[in-house]
Amino acid sequence: MEEQFLDLKNSALSLILDTESLTELEEIRIQFLGKNGELTLLFKEVTKLSAEEKPEAGKVANEVKRIIENTIKQKSDELTKKGKSKHQSLDVTEPGIKPPLGHLHLVTQAIREITTIFGHIGFTRERYPEVEWDWYAFTSLNFPDDHPARDDWETFFIKQQPDSKMGPVVLTPHTSSGQVREMQKKQLPIKMLNIAKCYRRQSDVSHTQMFHQFEGVVIGQDISITHLKGTLDYFVKSYFGKDRIARIRPYHFQFTEPSFEVDISCGICFGKGCKLCKEGWLEMGGAGMVHPNVLKFGGIDPQKYTGFAFGWGVERILMMKEGIQIDDLRILYGNDLDFLKQF
């Protein structure tokens, strides 16, 4: 009986290994494993054996069946693969394999869009140090040494001996540190756009320790609040859409006088007040007329020149832009591809 099984195995294997066609392979399968196949019939013989002979013969029978099935499977895979590659080399219409394409981070996209919008009205993009002297970040912006308003900026300090004039070294907490640096270039009129990383000691759903601001500064003759308001309106309509408007509210900053908070009308209710915005307006950031003391620090005569400045968070306006709702700002920097791929 075992002999018969082994003979059957040998003849099946040689047929399987010899064939070059899937149809023929299927015929071989039926010949051995089909309902009336040779192996199936032999299995039936096993059931007729005595109780002592049965287990041993059954074992061999199963082993032979397993080997034949496996060999058929292997051969079938091999023939399918071969068939495909032959097919591919001929089929020039088959679509190619696209390599995965990445794209710019959504904060980078926003920075580029902001740059383009301000570029259209003559602003030039500038960059200033991220690791900055306290003097540029605060003192030159009209903050006396021990003024409590310094605390509003929750600054990171670098471990380094402070300089007698420039003070300690900090991670710049706002893009306003570029204001006096720009004035020191002594090229008037000024129309700069400073977009940079800023750092503050705060981390929660609406703050990351590293974030981006974009700061506009315009200085020249007869620059007034009207110019500031016009620029804000232009930006708001270009970035958020034609239907949105900006408003300014009195506020306080050390480096601007007068100072304002800029709000933008809500994209859902357009200023009427709704569930999302409550009051109809969303807070966008600070602005104001450059303080005469700051002009003096920058070597500019405040009797001859005036200017305005504004500074807003890139991530903040990105969140406010219609269609993008982010519950937790920190996801922007979480490297979660499922999130980032959407933009």
135 is a site residue for ligand PHE (CB under 6 A) = no
Q: Alpha-carbon distance 48 to 97, whole Å?
A: 57
What six digits make up the tokens of 301? 């005569």
* CB-nearer residue toward ligand PHE: 39 or 110: 110
Contact set for ligand PHE, span 31-50 (CB under 6 A):
none
Cα dihedral 179→181→185→189 (10° resolution): 0
Work out whether 305 is an interface residue with ligand PHE (CB under 6 A).
Answer: no
Looking at residue 113, its amino acid is E
- Residue 287 within binding range of ligand PHE, rule CB under 6 A: yes
* Site for ligand PHE contains 317 (CB under 6 A): no
Q: Which stretch binds ligand PHE (CB under 6 A): 17-25, 229-237, 304-312, 323-331?
A: 304-312
Binding mask 146-175 for ligand PHE (x = CB under 6 A): ----------------------------x-
- Give 284 or 332: the residue with its C-beta nearer to ligand PHE: 284
Distance CA 240, CA 313 (A): 15
Residues 174-233 that bind ligand PHE (CB under 6 A): 174, 176, 215
Interface with ligand PHE includes 288 (CB under 6 A)? yes
Q: With CB under 6 A, what is the number of residues at the site for ligand PHE? A: 12
| Beta-strand relationship, 246-253 and 210-220 | unpaired
Confirm if 232 and 287 have CB atoms less than 8 A apart.
yes
Q: What are residue 310's DSSP bridge partners?
A: 216, 287
Report CA-CA distances (Å) from 138 to 145, 153, 201: 8, 10, 16
Is the CB of residue 90 less than 8 Å from the CB of residue 301? no
Question: Which spans of this chain sit near ligand PHE (rule: CB under 6 A)?
Answer: 174, 176, 215, 253, 256, 285-288, 309-311
